[in-house]
Structures are given as structure tokens and as C-alpha cells.
Amino acid sequence: MADYTIVASLGAAANGELFLATPPPRLRLSTDRVVIKVFDAVCDAAAHRRGVRELRAFAAVTSPYLARVFDATLSGQFMYAMEYFPLGSLGEPTAPLTRCEILSVAADATRGVHALHEAGIAHGNITPWAMMIASTGGQTVGGRICDLGLSRALTTNDPLTSFSRPHAVSYVDPVLLSTAATPSRATDIWSLGASLHFALTGETVYGADFSDQPLLAVRAAMSGHVTVSAQLDDANAELIRCCLGDPGARPSTAAELADRITALGVGSTTRSAPDGHHM
């Protein structure tokens, strides 16, 4: 695959597939492992240029909460290399997380989204699998945001509801499914709230985990009827409802949301989140 050495498949991602790989010497990286994302659609040179332009804009944003992007290549299909996180993501952690750890990862990833917004970039593809778990030294963990939504740059033919993880539609603001709206601060904040809900409860905001039921996931998302889990305490439930509510009532920025998530973590217990949030 180009000049990368594939180590293992990491499974499906939004509009593509992920691979663990050894980077080529030309990149002169200090790490011997990267993640390659290969997009499903075959794209032409013009689409490649658009994808590279968006990745460069992402990489130019200065924030410790953004996953690093190292390279972009066109070999029939568009692919790019990014930072590898051995601890996994909030969608698929490699080990159980405490509630406090989930909130810490979510707050950091949300700060990364805010940095993108301040640079004029809407992420457009926020799911629990885009909220990566980063080791911060010792026994603590933090978060990074990755997997910028590039599908609209790479092809003009794919509908927004075209996903490699079909249940990822559960994390898309319904306004994007039913109107001609484009991703924005407000829709990203909806996705952040929905992703946090899943990480804490193992349920989507439509009342179930639709991992194996893509048609039900799409039907539920198109209905727009969200349900906040009874597993959540009052403070967590209130914040998530705020994210999922009318755009004008949502946190005005992702930075505000991150601060509120951090405040929830201060008083959080150390017990593990429900097993259901592991995929």
C-alpha cells in the first residue's frame, strides 16, 4: 500500500478502512507505527487535491488535542497516515475506562474540535471512534480528535448517510439528514453530546446500540426522536440534553462544552462505565 508496510487491519471507519502500518523512511518519523485510513471511493486527481487541502488545513491548526496527520497519498484510492493510539477510542477502548477517564478523554477531544472551529473548520464526522484515548503519562489518560470528515471533499456523489460504519448515522445531527444544511459548530456539538452519551452508557441517543442493525440506525436517526438514558446521573443527562436540543440552546462553543465536561469529571466516581460501551 504505497510505500507503507501493513501490520494489521483495524477495521472499518467512516467512508473507509483503517490499517496499522510501519511508515516509510522518507517521513523521518520518531514512531514505528501509524494508522492509515483508506477511503472506499476511487477518486481522481482533483478530488485528491481537495482532500490534501483539507488535511493541510487540519494539520495547520495548533492544538495538543488534535491527532497528528503525517502524509496523504493517491493510489487509486485516497489515503492518509495519522497518529496511532494504542489505547483505542471511546468507541472501542482496549481496556475498561472509569467514568472520570471517559470524561477526561471527551473533554480533551472536544477542545480539539474547538480549535478546528476557531480555524473555520467544522469536523463533520464526530463519533466515539474519532475520540481517541491518549496516554498523558503515569496512570492518566487524555483525548485527541481525529478522522476529519473528508467524504464531501473526495466525492460529490456520496450522500451524507453513506457510512462504512452504518450505525455512525446515530452521531449525526438530524438536521444534516433532513435538510441541505452543512456541518457547523452547532452540528458538531450535537455529535459530541451523542458520542459522550454512548461512551457513558453503551447506548445511542436513540435508545440502543445499532452496531449490527444499520437499517434500524438510519430509521431511528431520520426520526429525530432522541432519548437520554436513565443510566446517566442528573448532571450528565442535563448536559447531553443541552447538546441535543435546539441549536440556540446548545453550548455556544465546543470550548464551553469541554469546560462543562471537565466540571462533571471533578466530582465523578472512579467506577467503570457500563460494559455496553465496548464494541
Looking at the fold, whether 76 and 113 belong to one and the same domain comes out as: no
Q: How far is CA 237 from CA 26, 175, 197, 205, in A?
A: 48, 21, 8, 11
Whichever domain contains 119, its CATH number is 1.10.510.10
Q: Which of 178, 160, 177, 236 is nearest to 203 (CA)?
A: 236
Looking at the 3D structure of the chain, how many domains does it have?
A: 2
In this predicted structure, what is the pLDDT of residue 48?
A: 78
Grid cell 433532513 — which residue? Answer: 178
- Reduce the DSSP state of residue 38 to 3 states and report it: strand
Whichever domain contains 30, its CATH number is 3.30.200.20
Looking at the fold, whether 55 and 107 belong to one and the same domain comes out as: no
Rounded distance between C-alpha atoms, residue 73 and residue 252, angstroms? 36
- Reduce the DSSP state of residue 10 to 3 states and report it: strand
Rounded distance between C-alpha atoms, residue 58 and residue 50, angstroms? 12
Q: Is 23 exposed, middle or buried (CB count within 10 Å of its CB: 0-12, 13-18, 19+)?
A: buried
Neighbouring residues of 72: CB distance < 8 A, sequence distance ≥ 6: 48, 51, 52, 55, 78, 79, 80, 81
Grid cell 492509515 — which residue? Answer: 36
Asked if residue 87 belongs to a domain, the reply is no
Looking at the fold, whether 184 and 123 belong to one and the same domain comes out as: yes
Residue 18 bridge partners (DSSP): 11, 37
Number of neighbouring beta carbons within 10 Å of residue 100:
19
C-alpha cell at 84: 496511532
Looking at the fold, whether 65 and 189 belong to one and the same domain comes out as: no
Looking at the fold, whether 226 and 105 belong to one and the same domain comes out as: yes
65 vs 11, residue with greater confidence: 65
Q: Which of 196, 199, 219, 217 is nearest to 208 (CA)?
A: 217
pLDDT of 276 over the 50 cut = no
Task: Tell me 21's DSSP state.
Answer: E
Average pLDDT in the chain: 86
Residue 34 bridge partners (DSSP): 21
* Domain extent at residue 26: 5-82
14 vs 266, residue with greater confidence: 266
**Over the stretch 133-168, which tens digit does the pLDDT of each residue have?**
999 877 789 999 998 876 454 444 454 444 445 568
Number of neighbouring beta carbons within 10 Å of residue 85:
17
In this predicted structure, what is the pLDDT of residue 275?
A: 52
27 in Cβ contact with 5 (< 8 Å): no
pLDDT bin (cut points 50, 70, 90) of residue 268 is: low
**Over the stretch 103-126, which tens digit does the pLDDT of each residue have?**
999 999 999 999 999 999 999 989
**φ, ψ dihedrals at 94, nearest 5°:** -80, -15
Q: What share of the chain is helix, strand, coil (3-state, %, to 5)?
A: 40, 20, 40
Looking at the fold, whether 193 and 109 belong to one and the same domain comes out as: yes
In this predicted structure, what is the pLDDT of residue 240?
A: 98
Work out the average pLDDT over 37-56. 81
Q: DSSP assignment of 220-232, as one string? A: HHHHT-----TTS
